Every structure is written in C-alpha cells, then in structure tokens.
A and B are shown apart, each in its own frame.
Chain A
Amino acid sequence: MNQNEFLSAMEDVLQTEDTLSMDTILEDLVEWDSLSVMATMAFLDKNFGIKTTMSDYKTMKTIGDIAKKAGL
C-alpha cells in the first residue's frame, strides 16, 4: 500500500467526505471519535499486522502520524 492508497483507505475507514492528506489534523475531523479509533486499530492490525493502543492515538496529531505507525 502506497501513501495515496493509504489516504483513500483511511477516508473509507473514517467514513469521511473530506479529502485527507498526510497533514490533516485528526482533531479537525468531525469523524475522529472512539468509533474511528477502533476502526483505525482494526485497519492497521488487518493490513499491516500492527497493534496500536488507545493511548497511541493520544499522541498522534495527524493522518501522517498514523501512516508512520503503519510504516509508510
């Protein structure tokens, strides 16, 4: 999965109508809530075998931070 594919996959994971970029601030997204965190955890586990914790998301600020976790 390249960065563009990751962004479009995340748009689907978060069910957002916004176009995401690596700089998109998570807090600015209306959709960024506990449902989205769980959906993101599942997405990273399924596609990258990476197990994130709830507390990881407290330190992540942008979509790019999630991409970094995924190793992109």
Chain B
Amino acid sequence: MAISFFNHVKIAGFKTAIPERCINIDDEIEFFDNNPKKLARAKKIAGYGKRYVADKNTTVVDLAVDAASKLLQEMKVNSHEIDLLIFINQKPDYEAPCDASIAHGMLGLEKNCATLNLNLGCSGYVSGLWQAFSLLENGNLKKCLILAGDIPARDLDIKDRKRAPVFGDAASATLIEYTENPSPSTFVLGTDGKGWDKIIYPFNGRRIPLDNNLLNLKIETPSGYQWDYSQGILKGEDIFYFTMDVAPELIIQTLSQANWKKEDVDLYAIHQANKQIIENIIDKAQIPAEKTPSDVFSKYANNSTTSVVTVLCDQPKDKKFGKTLLCVFGIGLSWGGATLDLEGVYNGGIYTYISPKNKPTREELINYWIKCIKGE
C-alpha cells in the first residue's frame, strides 16, 4: 500500500502564474443559443466562469520558470540552494528532453541539483510532493523546487464545448524544505492502470506514430467541432464515476491514516475538475462545504496538474494556513491524498505572466532547428 508518513519536510511557499488572455463565459452566449437563461444555468450547474489561455508562443515551462524565479526572489532563496527540481506535467515542450532539464537551465540551478520529471496530469501534484518529501525526509537534501502545470486550454478549439469552457492554463512553483522541527504529513496514493485508456492522447507516441493519414485525420463530432490527433479522448461517463467513487473514499482514507477528524481540517483543497464534481465529492465525503473551495474553478477553470495549487494560491494573502488536505485524481487513472501542516507557509498568490516581446516565434524556432540540422 502506498501510504507514507513524513515528519521533517514542509512546504515553505508557493506561487502561481496565469497567462494574460482571459476568456469569460459571459462573452460566449452565442454557444448557449444566445439565451441568457441557458448561460446562467450552465454557470450555476457546471460553474463555468473565467479561464486564462496562453498565447501560441507561451508554454508551461515559460509560466512555471517565471513563477519559480519570482517565488525564490520573494522568499529570498538563492538558486544555488536548490538540491532537487521536480517538474510535473502531462504535455512537455519537446518530445525530448524532459521539461525538468530545460527549467533547470533557465533557472540557472547548480550542476549538483538533481532533476526529475513526472508525466502525470490532474493527479500529479500530490505524486510530486510525495517524491520530494521522500527524498528530503532524511535531511541529505535540504531544498526542492516543484514546478507543476499544463496548458490544456491553449490548443483547444473554442467550438469544442465539452472541453473549451472547462480548461484553463496555469503553472506553479512550490518550495519544499527539510525541517528539524517536526511537521507531520501523510500521503495516500493509488492507481487503476486498467483505466489507462479512459483519458488518452492515442496518436503521436511510439505505439501509433503520426503519419500523413493521421496528421490529416479530421472527425466530425456530435458536439459540432472537428477532432484531430492533437485532441485527446476523455471518456466522460467513466471518468465521472471514477471521480465519484475514488475521491470521497480517498479523503476519508487519508484523514483516517493521518488520524485527523473532518473538523480538524482548515482547508480541503480538491482538484478543480468542475464545480459539479467538487460539490458531489463534498456531499459524498460529507466534508464542510465552507472549507472546500469549488469557486476556484469559476475563477480560473480546471488547471489540470496545478489546479490544487491554484486553490492554495487563491486563498487570501493574509490567511493563516493550518491543517490542509489535498485530494487529486485524473489521467492514469491515478489519485493522491495528502494531509499537510501549512502553518507559516508563504503564499505568493496568483499573478499574470507577461509574455516577453522578444520571445522567438514558431517560425523562428523551426528555422533555428533547420539550420542546426544542416550544420549551418
């Protein structure tokens, strides 16, 4: 059983970057037959609201590295103090190498700082924390940076009404530290690998590499948008029940392993899949709604890998953090629960990442690589 207890590691701070462009569901009434009642109903039931979408030249690495350098600066931590960098995301900047290496270079970390990359989505943050806590517990490593994020919204077709209103782009940086003073935490992780195909991008890996046929494959979907290879497949009904079955049980199990009562918890930070799912989890797990934000989804949408950090960073800056429960679930299928004592944590909040004007465009990057290949 993947149940772990730690006593000498804590989260020291976190910060979240979102892109500039904001899409508000109120501006999309055309997709609700121009009917204000239908729009209001979708807002009430699913919680649709605002979402932030990266521009074509911005990636998850840009957002995460910017958040990390600001976090280190604000917390007055020097980059040479970082012993470990963990990058968690589902869709990397390049097919290879992994984003952890790229971020390590961009942040100017020391050569004796180790890197790890986890290929996970919505459940990834707790897995990354768990690895960091495992590696720091004995005090050999003192400081770890976790970069988590994805840009699920950037390349979505706005006509894809199943997913476009649901996802928003964001990335976060979290600083983890070894601590002499006891800071107990509990982790419960799980996987249902038989559900590997429930959320999947089937093409463009080594099992089914892209060819011209797949590249040009367009499928008309019942909801009226064209599916191409870059769009994933999400088996909504299966995922829905997976969430309803796994998440409430995970919360109960994590609390029980930590020996915490429901009322001990100051904040339940649950992956913001959508408002309806969070409300169902609250009902089924019978946890207090006032301590379990579901409105973060309406403010930033589902930020995939980093959505639970968005919940933490969205708390008021002067809020005193305490006993916190994290609950995440998603692609894999996989899930993770954690109880943490966040007393004294630094909340760097959520800020807008401004894309530098001189950032190379797609064409410039392609030309650069062509020149490399030609040996120019």
Do A and B come together as binding partners?
yes
Flag whether A3 is at the interface (Cβ < 8 A): no
User: Which residues of chain A come closer than 8 Å to B46, judged between CB atoms?
Assistant: 35
Q: For residue A53, which residue of chain B has the nearest CB?
A: B237
Contact A42 B44 (CB under 8 A): no
Flag whether A31 is at the interface (Cβ < 8 A): yes
Interface of B, secondary structure class, is helix
Q: How far is the CA of A53 from the CA of B236 in the complex (A)?
A: 10
Contact A31 B244 (CB under 8 A): no
The total of chain B residues at the interface (CB under 8 A) is: 17
User: Which residues of chain A come closer than 8 Å to B244, judged between CB atoms?
Assistant: 42, 45-46
A-facing residues in B74-113 (Cβ within 8 Å): none
Contact partner of B280 among A15, A31, A42, A51, CB < 8 A?
A42
Flag whether A1 is at the interface (Cβ < 8 A): no
Q: How far is the CA of A45 from the CA of B280 in the complex (A)?
A: 10
User: Which residues of chain B come closer than 8 Å to A31, judged between CB atoms?
Assistant: 41
A-facing residues in B234-267 (Cβ within 8 Å): 236-237, 240-241, 244
Contact A51 B241 (CB under 8 A): yes
Proximity bits, A16-37, B CB within 8 Å = 1, else 0? 0000000000000011001110
A25 to chain B, nearest CB (A): 19
Q: How far is the CA of A42 from the CA of B114 in the complex (A)?
A: 44
Q: How far is the CA of A7 from the CA of B46 in the complex (A)?
A: 21
Contact A35 B45, CB 8 Å, known A42-B276, A42-B280, A46-B280: yes
User: Which residues of chain A come closer than 8 Å to B42, judged between CB atoms?
Assistant: 35
User: Which residues of chain A come closer than 8 Å to B45, judged between CB atoms?
Assistant: 15, 35-36, 39
User: Which residues of chain B come closer than 8 Å to A42, judged between CB atoms?
Assistant: 240, 244, 276, 280
A-facing residues in B40-63 (Cβ within 8 Å): 41-42, 44-46
Q: How far is the CA of A35 from the CA of B42 in the complex (A)?
A: 7
B246 to chain A, nearest CB (A): 13
B322 to chain A, nearest CB (A): 29
Q: How far is the CA of A53 from the CA of B162 in the complex (A)?
A: 17
User: Which residues of chain B come closer than 8 Å to A54, judged between CB atoms?
Assistant: 236-237
Contact partner of A38 among B38, B41, B276, CB < 8 A?
B276
Q: How far is the CA of A15 from the CA of B46 in the complex (A)?
A: 12
Contact B41 A39 (CB under 8 A): no
Contact A15 B284 (CB under 8 A): no
User: Which residues of chain B come closer than 8 Å to A36, judged between CB atoms?
Assistant: 45
Flag whether A63 is at the interface (Cβ < 8 A): no
B278 to chain A, nearest CB (A): 11
Q: How far is the CA of A46 from the CA of B240 in the complex (A)?
A: 13
Sample of 11 A–B contacts (CB below 8 Å): A34-B162, A38-B236, A38-B240, A38-B276, A39-B45, A39-B276, A45-B241, A45-B280, A46-B284, A53-B237, A54-B236
- Residues of chain A touching chain B, judged by Cβ–Cβ distance below 8 Å, are 15, 30-31, 34-36, 38-39, 41-42, 45-46, 51, 53-54
